[in-house]
Structure 1
Amino acid sequence: MTPEIVVDVFSQAFGLVILLAGFILLPGLVIGLIIAIFQAATSINEQTLTFLPRLLVTLLTLSFLGHWMVGNLVEFATTLYNSIPELIG
């Protein structure tokens, strides 16, 4: 197993992690920004106001995209598991 193969496998894994984490984090960040702008415009400085909408958006994102995310993870793991003989030999 050469270092190039290890780097390639890790780069694929990190790319998948960044993709999946981005789909979870981006909607929460957008909602947080919208609520922060609303708070700045209305001078409402309540810290708990941002928590619940971000939590709900994150849960909705996970419920809608969860099947696709798990499918990507299973596909990556299956591909990696099936390529073990090629990677070692």
Structure 2
Amino acid sequence: MNAEQALDIARETIFVLLIVASPIMLIGLAVGLTVAIFQALTQIQEVTLTFVPKIIVVFLSMLVLLPFMLNQLEGLMETVADRIIAGGG
């Protein structure tokens, strides 16, 4: 395996990482903004109010998105395994 092939695998890996992580990060961002707006409107400055809803929603979204994430990671692994079997070509 030469440097170009290693960079191709690294590029694909980073792309898959972004595809897998982005939905959960965006969901966490949306919940955080919603809670922040709620806190600003009601002037409730409870610290746990920011973390508990985010943790619950991110956990539930991971359960829902797990099949999608697994398919993406399986596709990456199949690509890498095919390159290894083919001799890096």
Would you call these one fold, judging by a TM-score over 0.5?
Answer: yes
Aligned to 1:7: 7
Aligned to 2:17: 17
Gaps of at least 5 residues in structure 2 are none
Code of the residue aligned with 1:30 in structure 2: it is A
Matched ranges for 1:55-66 at <5 A: 55-66=55-66
Aligned to 2:73: 73
Q: Matched residues in 2 for 1:83 and 1:19: separation?
A: 21
Indicate the RMSD between aligned Cα atoms, in angstroms. Answer: 1.4
Q: How many aligned residue pairs are there? A: 89
Q: Matched residues in 2 for 1:78 and 1:86: separation?
A: 12
With the length of structure 1 as denominator, give the TM-score of the two structures.
0.89
Q: Matched residues in 1 for 2:31 and 2:42: separation?
A: 16
> Sequence identity of aligned pairs in percent?
35
Q: Which runs of 4+ in 1 moved over 3 A?
A: 85-89
Code of the residue aligned with 1:36 in structure 2: it is A
CA deviations over 1:55-85 (Å, ceiling 9, x no partner): 1211121111101101211121122112213
Q: Does the 8 Å contact 1:24/1:61 carry over to 2?
A: yes
Q: Does the 8 Å contact 2:24/2:58 carry over to 1?
A: yes
With the length of structure 2 as denominator, give the TM-score of the two structures.
0.89
Q: Matched residues in 2 for 1:88 and 1:31: separation?
A: 43
* 1:2 Cα offset (Å): 2.2
Q: Matched residues in 2 for 1:52 and 1:10: separation?
A: 35
